[in-house]
């Protein structure tokens, strides 16, 4: 149960942008300004400073849930072809080994076989948005993988297993992109498709929890053709962090809290309280 010391935290699904986009020149120059402003506003939107962050990253797939357990993770520059200075970025946020053990216990109780990984650093789906949202790097971060199965229902279940952490002051963030068809970015033909799927997502997260989870579990069919045009088969890893956030939300109310059109497509963020 939430306490005065640890009010219940929301869960979030955030867009992490394109590579190190917030820390380099882009064309047009203001392309990512609104997304950056949204990320910077996250701390003031919370009921209290988080004791830690569990971040589910689109850039880590594993057969079973893997949890970064290093005390001081390094950075994994898993992007390519960007300016040299973007490979010298820093984000010295401490890891959360004790929280990794706690989360592993919750996941094991739900029937998963979690794995602790004390070598993997923060990938760019983690350190890039957090460097914008929590620039002081003073909140411990636990990075969590997706499941290589890409099974939507299992990611909802993964989130449900982690829900108790919300009452311990832990902020659960799914980091991905609500649109992620690489060949579609910058193509005007993608604009109506992305807008249609974005509307479906906004409607879906705002539904009562049982209906919300059913639609998300069957997202590829329930969203019509637009869903798969935005997230091609076997490439939906940028959507599934939303499922973890929705699963961890339990009976919480969901809503779209940010939308912008970047590179001809709509991208959104969602919050569950």
pLDDT of residue 5: 72
Q: CA-to-CA distance for 241 and 129, rounded, in angstroms?
A: 14
Number of structural domains the chain divides into: 1
pLDDT of residue 6: 83
pLDDT classification of 261: cutoffs 50, 70, 90 = very high
Given a cut of 80, whether residue 245 has pLDDT beyond it is yes
Per-chain mean pLDDT for the chain: 97
Residue 4 placed within a domain = no
Given a cut of 90, whether residue 32 has pLDDT beyond it is yes
- Find the domain containing 261 and state its range: 11-272
Residue 6 placed within a domain = no
Phi, psi of 139 (to 5 degrees): -105, 125
Q: The domain that contains 83 carries what CATH number? A: 3.40.830.10
Distance of CA 189 to the CA centre of its chain: 26
State the average pLDDT over residues 97-126.
Answer: 98
pLDDT classification of 3: cutoffs 50, 70, 90 = low
How many C-beta atoms lie closer than 10 Å to residue 180's C-beta? 21
Residue 175 placed within a domain = yes
Q: pLDDT (tens digit, 9 = 90+) per residue, 44-73? A: 999 999 999 999 999 999 999 999 999 999
Q: Do 149 and 157 meet the contact criterion of CB atoms below 8 Å apart?
A: no
Given a cut of 70, whether residue 100 has pLDDT beyond it is yes
Residue 5 placed within a domain = no
Q: CA-to-CA distance for 23 and 25, rounded, in angstroms?
A: 7
Given a cut of 80, whether residue 106 has pLDDT beyond it is yes
Q: Closest Cα partner for 236 from 221, 220, 250, 223? A: 220
Given a cut of 90, whether residue 1 has pLDDT beyond it is no
% of the chain surpassing 70 pLDDT: 99
Residue 104 placed within a domain = yes
Tokens of 124: 């760019």
Residue 232 placed within a domain = yes
Residue 99 placed within a domain = yes
pLDDT classification of 111: cutoffs 50, 70, 90 = very high
Residue 61 placed within a domain = yes
Tokens of 179: 């649109």
Q: Do 238 and 177 meet the contact criterion of CB atoms below 8 Å apart?
A: yes
């Amino acid at each position: 149960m939430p306490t005065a010391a640890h009010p219940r935290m929301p869960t979030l699904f955030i867009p992490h942008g394109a590579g190190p986009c917030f820390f380099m020149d882009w064309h047009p120059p203001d392309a990512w300004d609104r997304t950056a402003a949204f990320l910077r506003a996250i701390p003031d939107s919370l009921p209290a400073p988080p004791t830690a962050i569990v971040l589910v990253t689109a850039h880590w797939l594993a057969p079973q849930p893997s949890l970064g357990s290093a005390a001081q993770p390094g950075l994994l520059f898993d992007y390519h072809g960007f300016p040299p200075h973007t490979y010298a970025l820093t984000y010295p946020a401490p890891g959360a080994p004790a929280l990794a053990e706690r989360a592993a216990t919750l996941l094991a109780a739900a029937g998963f076989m979690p794995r602790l990984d004390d070598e993997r650093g923060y990938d760019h789906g983690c350190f890039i948005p957090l460097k914008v949202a929590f620039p002081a790097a003073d909140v411990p971060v636990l990075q969590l993988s997706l499941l290589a199965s890409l099974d939507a229902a299992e990611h909802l279940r993964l989130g449900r297993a982690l829900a108790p952490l919300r009452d311990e002051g832990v902020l659960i963030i799914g980091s991905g992109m609500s649109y992620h068809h690489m060949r579609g970015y910058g193509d005007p033909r993608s604009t109506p498709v992305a807008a249609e799927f974005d509307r479906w997502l906004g409607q879906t997260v705002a539904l009562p929890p049982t209906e919300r989870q059913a639609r998300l579990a069957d997202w590829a069919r329930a969203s019509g053709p637009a869903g798969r045009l935005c997230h091609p088969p076997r490439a939906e890893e940028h959507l599934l962090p939303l499922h973890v956030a929705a699963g961890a939300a339990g009976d919480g109310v969901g809503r779209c809290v940010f939308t912008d059109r970047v590179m001809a497509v709509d991208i959104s963020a969602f919050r569950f309280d």
